[in-house]
Amino acid sequence: MVFFMQSLLSSRGVVLLGALLCLSCSVGDEQKNIQILKKTASVSEQGVVLDANVGVQLGAEAEKALKNGVPLVWAVTARLWQSREIIWDEKIAEVVYRYQISYHALMDIYRVKDEQSGAENTFTSLQLALNEIGSLKNILITADRSISKKNLYSIGLLFSLDKERLPVPLRLVAYYDPGWALTSQWNIWFFQK
Amino acid sequence: MQESSELSQLYSSLVLINAIGSVILLLLVGFNVYSLFRQIRKREAGSQLTIKMVLLFVFLSLAPAGIVFFYSVQFLDQSIDSWFNVEIDRAMDDALEISQVSLEQKERDHLKKMKKLAEHIVAGERVDIEVLRDSISADELTLLSSQGHIKAFSSLSSTLELPDVGNTLLTLGRSDSYAGLDSVKDGGLSVRVIVRINTENPQFLHALFPVSQRIADLADSVEFAFVRYQEMTYLRNSLKVSFSLVLGLVLLLSLLAAIWVAFISIRNIIAPVKQLVKGTQAVADGDYSQQLPVLVHDDMGFLVESFNKMSKRVGLARDEARLSSIEIEDQRAYLQTILSSLTSGVISLDGEFNIRTANQAADAIFHCAINQFSGQPLLAFTQGRSDLQHLVKMIHVKMEYANFTWQQHVSLLGPKGRQEILCRGAPLFSQNQVRIGAVIVFDDISDLIQAQKNAAWGEVARRLAHEIKNPLTPIQLSAERLQLKLSGLLEDSSAAMLNRSTKTIIQQVEVMKKMVDEFAEYAKPSKKNPESISLPDLIQQVVALYSLQPKVEFKVQLAATVPNVHADPIQMRQVLHNLIKNALEALVYEGCITVSVQFLDKKNAQMVEVGIYDNGPGIMAERMDNIFEPYITHKEKGTGLGLAIVKKIIEEHRGSIWLDTEYHEGAGFVFQLPLV
C-alpha cells in the first residue's frame, strides 16, 4: 500500500492516475501479457544491480501498430526502499530504463534499441526481439554500495509499455483500450545485503 | 518542432486537465441547475428570468460552437482522408517491393557466389581467406567452425574488429544458407550471406557484401517514406477519433464554461432585481423602512435609488397619515370624553335619520342604551317605549323641515316619573349645502323646574308666615278677650254662643298657626345630621310601629346584603312614616303594604333603592303629574305637604323619588339614595 502510494506520487504517476482510475476496472485481466518470470538482485562492484527475465507478449493491437511502423518504447522501472518499522519505507533510489522496438519493412526485421547506451540489435522475428527486451541484465538501481547489512531493503520492478511515447493520436486509445494494457504488476521483494 | 514536441509530451496532461475541468464545471453547472430548479419550485423572484437567460446563453454559445465543431470534424475527416488514396498506397507498396526485389537480386547473386566458393573449399585443405574474399569482392569473409568459432577472417576494414556472429548462426538455424540485408554501423547497408560447407565436420562461411551508398540511400528513403505512410494509414482512424475527442472536449468545456459564466453573470444581473422584488414585497407588507443597497451605478442602480426614494416618501406619507389619524382619533376621543362628560344628552344622526352616536347622558335621560341602535333609524329605540314616540316623531318633523337650529320643550312620563325635556336640534349641511345629518341635544330640566317650584313655594311659605301668622295672634287674643269680657255680661244662651264662636276662632287660629308653621318648616332649609344608617333596620323599626293595624298586612322584602347609607336617621324615619301613612290612608286601613329594599350597582353608581307599594285604589292619571307638589291633596284631612316633604328630604340627600307608573295594582313609590 505504501509502495502504491509512492508510485502514484512519482513523475508520471499524476498523469497516469486519471486514466488508471478510469480504466482500472477494464485492464485487470490483460496484465498477464507482461509477466515478470524471474528476478534477482545483488550488490556488485557497480552497486545494486538487478537481473530479471520478463515474459513479454504483445496484444493484437500493439503488434498491428508495430507492424505499421509505430515504434514501441518499454519502460523498466526499478526502485529501492529501505524498510522502516513505524513510518513508511524510505525510497533510496529509482531508475527507469527504456528500450525501443521497431519494425523495418524493407528488411523485414525487428530492431531493438537500448536508449540508455544507444546499442541496437536486429532480429528476424518478433519473438526474438521481445525475448531480447525481456532479458534484463545488470540493471543498475543505485551505484551507492554503502547499503547496510543490518537494514532490510525492498526492491520493486515494473515493466510497462510507455504510452506517453506512443504517437499522439494513439495515446488516448491506448489509455482506454484494454488491448493496450501492457504493463506488469509491481513486483516487490525483500532484499538484504 | 520543439514546441510541438513539448505539446506532444503535455498532450495527456492537457487532456486530463481538460477532463477534470469539464467534470468540475459539470458539477458546478449541475449544482446551479439544481439550485435554479429549487428556486423555480419555490417561485423565487428572478428564477424565470434566470432560466430564460441561461437558455439564451446556452443557445448563443452552443449554436456557433456546435456549427464550428461539426464543420471542423467534417473538415478534419476530409483533410485526413485526402492524405490517402489507392494510388499512393500502391505506389508505396510498389516502391518498397522494387527496393526489396533489387536488394534480393543482389542477395541471390552474392549467395550464388558464396555457394560456388563453398564448393571449392575441401575439408582439411588450407585456404587463403584473403584470396577467397577478393575473389567474391566481399567486404568481410569469415570461416566459422560448427560451434561458431572463427577459424579464418578477412576484412577490408583496417580495424581488427571481429564480427558478431552469435545472432548469425541463430538466424541460419537448420537451413544451409542465409542471405539478408543488414545495417552497418555507419548507417549504410550490407548483404550478409551465410552458407554451410557440407563436409563431415560442417563449417560455415560468413560474408558481408557491400551495397552501394546510392542504393542504400534510396532504399532507406523508400523505407522511411513507406513506414511513415504506413504509420499514418494505421493512425488514420485514431487521428480522427483523437481530433474529434479533443474538439468535443473543448466544445464541452466551452459550453459548460459558458453556462457557468451565464449563471454567475445572470446572478449578478438578477441580484438587484431580487432586491427590488424583496423591497416591493416589504413595501406591500407595509414596511416602508426598506432601503436597498445600490450595488452598481447603472440603469439598475438608478432604478434601485428611485425605489429607495419612493419607499422613503411613501413611508413619510404613511407616517404623516398615521400621525393625522392619531390626531383625529385623539380629537375624536377628546370629543367623546367631552360628550360623555356632558350632562346634556347628545345624539347625532346621519342624512337618513339613522343614529350615529349618542352619549351617556342621552342614555341616562331616556333610560336606555341608545348606542346599541347605532346605524338604525331613530324610531328603533322607541320600541316598547310609548312615552318616547311622541318626542321622536316631533324630532323627525323638525329634522325634515327645519333648516335652522330649533328648540322644543317636551314633557315625558318616563319609568321614573315625569320628565321635562328641553330638546334642541341643529341640521348639518355639507359644503354643497346638502343635508348630511343632524345633532340633537337633550336636557332634562325636571330638577330645574322642580327647584324653581320649590323656590316659589318657599317664597309662598315665607309670605304666609309673614302676612298670615302675624295677624293671627291679635285675632286669637281678641277672641279670648271678647270671651273674657263679655261672657259674664250676656245671657246664658248668648254667652254659650259667644263661647262657641270664640273657641272656634281660637281653634282655627291655632290650626292656621300650625299650618303656617308647617309651611315655614317646609320652606326653610333643613338641618341634617347625617350618619351611617342601615335602611333595612330603620324600615323594620318603622314598620313595627304600624304592625298593630289589624286589617293591614305588611310585607317587608329585604335583600341579602344592603350597605349602609349616609343620611339623617330622623329625616329618613319621617320619609318612611309619611309614605307608609300615605299608603295606609289610601288603603283606608285595610289591605297590604309591601316594603322592599335592594342594592343597585349601575354604571359606577351604587345606591340603595326602597319601594313602598300598596294594593289600594291607586293614583289617578291626572294626579300623577303633580303628586309631589305641596298643597296637592285629595284627602279630607291633610295639608298636602306629606309627599312634598318626602321629596324634599330625599332630594336633599341627593337621592330621587318617583311614582312607579308601571305598577298598576295600587300606588307605588320608589326612592333611591346614593351610598356616597
**Cα separations (Å) of A137 from A140, A141, B540?**
9, 12, 145
Q: Which residue among A19, A107, A163 places its CB closest to the CB of B181? A: A107
> Which of B234, B240, B243 to substitute to test the interface with A, most A CBs within 10 Å?
B234
Q: What is the Cα–Cα distance from A124 to A107, expressed in whole angstroms? A: 9
Each residue of B62-107: pLDDT tens digit?
A: 888 888 888 988 888 888 888 888 888 888 888 888 888 888 888 8
Both ends of chain A: CA-CA distance in Å?
A: 24
What is the C-alpha R_g of chain B? 72
Spell out which chain B residues touch chain A, with contact meaning CB-CB distance below 8 angstroms. 8-9, 11-13, 15-16, 19-20, 96, 99-100, 103, 167, 170-171, 180-183, 219-220, 222-223, 226-228, 230-231, 233-235, 238-239, 241-243, 245
Band of the pLDDT at B171, cuts 50, 70, 90?
Answer: low
Each residue of B358-374: pLDDT tens digit?
A: 888 888 888 788 888 88
Q: What is the Cα–Cα distance from A106 to A103, expressed in whole angstroms? A: 9
Beta strands in A115-182 (DSSP E): 120-123, 135-142, 153-161
Interchain pair A106, B238: CB under 8 A: no
Sheet holding B140-144, edge to edge: B150-155, B140-144, B203-210, B189-197, B177-183
Give this prediction's pTM. 0.52
Reading phi first (left if > 0) and then psi (alpha if -120 to 50, else beta), residue B187 is in left
What φ, ψ does residue A134 adopt, rounded to 5°? -75, -15
Which pLDDT score is estimated for B335? 86
Each residue of B174-210: pLDDT tens digit?
A: 778 888 877 776 667 788 888 888 766 778 888 888 8
Q: What is the Cα–Cα distance from B142 to A92, expressed in whole angstroms? A: 49
Of the candidates B663, B548, B549, the residue with the CA atom closest to the CA atom of residue B596: B663
Mean pLDDT of B146-156: 81
Q: What is the Cα–Cα distance from B232 to A81, expressed in whole angstroms? A: 43
- Residue identified by cell 488514396 is B85
Distance in Å, alpha carbon of B148 to nearest chain A alpha carbon = 18
Residues A161, A73 contacting (CB under 8 angstroms): yes
Geometric angle at alpha carbon B342, from B338 and B345, rounded to 5° = 120
Distance in Å, alpha carbon of A105 to nearest chain B alpha carbon = 7
Residues in chain A closer than 8 A to B181 (CB atoms): 106-107, 109
Per-state percent for chain A, helix, strand, coil, to nearest 5: 30, 40, 30
Interchain pair B238, A68: CB under 8 A: no
Q: What is the Cα–Cα distance from B32 to B451, expressed in whole angstroms? A: 93
Buried b (16+ CB within 10 A) or exposed e, B216-253: beebbebbeebbebbbbbbbbebbbebbeebbebbbbb
Residues B663, B589 contacting (CB under 8 angstroms): no
* CB-based contact, A169 to chain B, within 8 Å: yes
Q: What is the Cα–Cα distance from A74 to B606, expressed in whole angstroms? A: 119
Which pLDDT score is estimated for B5? 63
Q: Which residues lie closer than 8 Å to A181 by C-beta, 6 or more apart? A: A23, A26, A27, A30, A31, A33
Which pLDDT score is estimated for A13? 39
Which pLDDT score is estimated for B432? 84
Of the candidates B249, B243, B247, B245, the residue with the CA atom closest to the CA atom of residue B19: B249
Each residue of B239-263: pLDDT tens digit?
A: 888 888 888 888 888 888 888 888 8
User: Does position B576 have pLDDT exceeding 50, yes or no?
Assistant: yes
Geometric angle at alpha carbon A172, from A171 and A177, rounded to 5° = 100
Residues B396, B438 contacting (CB under 8 angstroms): no
* DSSP class of B379: G
C-alpha cell at B57: 446563453
Chains A–B, number of C-beta pairs less than 8 Å apart: 84
Q: What is the Cα–Cα distance from A33 to A58, expressed in whole angstroms? A: 7
